[in-house]
Amino acid sequence: MKSFLARLGALLCLVLSGFDRLRFRGESRLLNNARGLDSYLYQQHIRDVDFPRHAEELTKTLRRQTEQQARAHGVPLKPLNSPELDKEAIALQLAQAEQRTAGPIAVLSVVESCWTYRLRKQANGWVKPVKQPAKCLHYYHYFLHAQLGLCYVRIQSWFPFPVWVGLNGREWLGRQLHERGVPFQKRNNLLLAVGDAALA
C-alpha cells in the first residue's frame, strides 16, 4: 500500500481504510478440550470406546436436519467437489437462478480441513478420544442480510461442531452509504470513489 501511494498518491482524492472480510468463530468451551470432553461423556453416560458411534449419530442428525430444512424452505442445496471454488460466486449464481433476493439463498457443502476427535491408545493402555487434524464435510449457509449484505454461516459436520460466521465489511459499508443516499462507485469488492469521504 505504501509503495502504491508513493507512486500514485498525487492522483488520489482520498484513501479509505476499513474491514474487508470479517470472520467470527464460535466453539463450545466444554467440547473443545480433552477434559471438557471427558466431562461431557460422563454427563451423557457414554464410555470412551462408544464415543465414535455417538459422534457419528450426531453427524448424521446434523446432516439430515440441515438438508431437510434447506429443501423445506426451497433453498438451493449444492455439494462442491473442491474447497478452492469461489463459494460466494456460486451462492449468488444460485440466488439469481432461484430469484432469491433476501434471506437464505443457498446451502453449499464441501469437504475441508478440520479438527476432530479420534480414539487413540494412551501410554497406560486406555483408549481415549484425542483431538487431531482431519477432513470432513462443512455446510456453508449463505444469506442476504438487509444491512450486512452477503453473509455466511459455516458449520463443521463432525464433533465438536465449531461454527464460523463471515461477512464483508465493504459490502456493509456500501449498504450504509446507499441507505444515506451517498453516491459511490464500486468494482467487485473495491470502493473506487465515495461522495462523502468523511461520512464513509
Please report whether residue 193 resides in a domain. no
pLDDT at 177 over 80: yes
SS3 136: strand
| Res. 82 pLDDT band, cuts 50 70 90 | very high
The number of angstroms, rounded, from the C-alpha of 98 to the middle of its chain's C-alpha atoms is: 22
pLDDT in tens, 38-47: 999 999 999 9
Residue 196 is given by DSSP the state -
Please report whether residue 191 resides in a domain. no
> Mean pLDDT, to the nearest integer, of 34-61?
94
Count of structural domains, the chain: 1
Please report whether residue 7 resides in a domain. no
Please report whether residue 51 resides in a domain. yes
Please report whether residue 197 resides in a domain. no
**Percentage of residues in the chain having pLDDT higher than 70:** 94
Please report whether residue 163 resides in a domain. yes
Please report whether residue 149 resides in a domain. yes
149-156 and 21-26 beta bridge pairing: unpaired
> Grid cell 462507485 — which residue?
185
pLDDT in tens, 120-172: 988 888 889 999 999 999 999 999 998 888 999 999 999 999 999 999 888 88
The residue range of the domain holding 45 is 23-168
Out of 5-14, 97-106, 152-161, least confident range: 5-14
103-121 and 77-79 beta bridge pairing: parallel
Please report whether residue 151 resides in a domain. yes
**pTM for this predicted structure:** 0.84
pLDDT at 11 over 70: no
